[in-house]
Amino acid sequence: MTVTVIADAVIAGLLLLGGGFALIGSWGLAKLPSLMSRLHGPTKATTLGVGSCLVASVVYFPVHGGVWTAHELLITLFLFITAPISANLIAKAYLHGCHTAPGEQSMMAEGMPDAAENGADWATFGYDDAEEDPLSVPTGAGGKDPSA
């Protein structure tokens, strides 16, 4: 086996891996139920897919007579740095734009387990009714609500 054949096998494997990740990321973007869960498709799987294709490009050009440049590596680095940050900013903008009344279930919680299922706690969006709500508005003097 020559170096070219081995490099071509590595390139083909990286392209298949990248295409598979991109397909999974696209499926997640189209099929997951809420915005918060749909963020994971493009930011995780598609980032790995495009990154694999760019690494395949880095391997391809020096092997097949081209000149090696750092452009693909810089694009990959930029992609891996910016995709999680942009997803975080989209999630924060979504959460700040959701104005729900206390006790009302937001769109973010659609598809999440109910608090009563399997002993859900704060990590699964559950709430223990026995504890005092730390975000509740304190009552005025004599236990009366000042807004009433």
- The per-residue pLDDT for range 72-118, each reduced to its tens digit, is 889 989 988 888 888 888 888 877 776 665 556 555 555 555 555 55
Domain ranges of the chain: 3-97+107-114
Residue 131 has pLDDT above 70, yes or no: no
Residue 142 has pLDDT above 90, yes or no: no
- The per-residue pLDDT for range 47-62, each reduced to its tens digit, is 889 889 999 999 998 8
Tokens representing 14 are: 């990286």
Q: How many CA atoms lie within 13 A of 115 on its CB side?
A: 10
Residue with tokens 């279930």: 105
More confident residue, 38 or 77: 77
Mean pLDDT of the chain: 76
- Where does residue 51 rank: exposed (0-12), middle (13-18), buried (19+ CB within 10 A)? buried
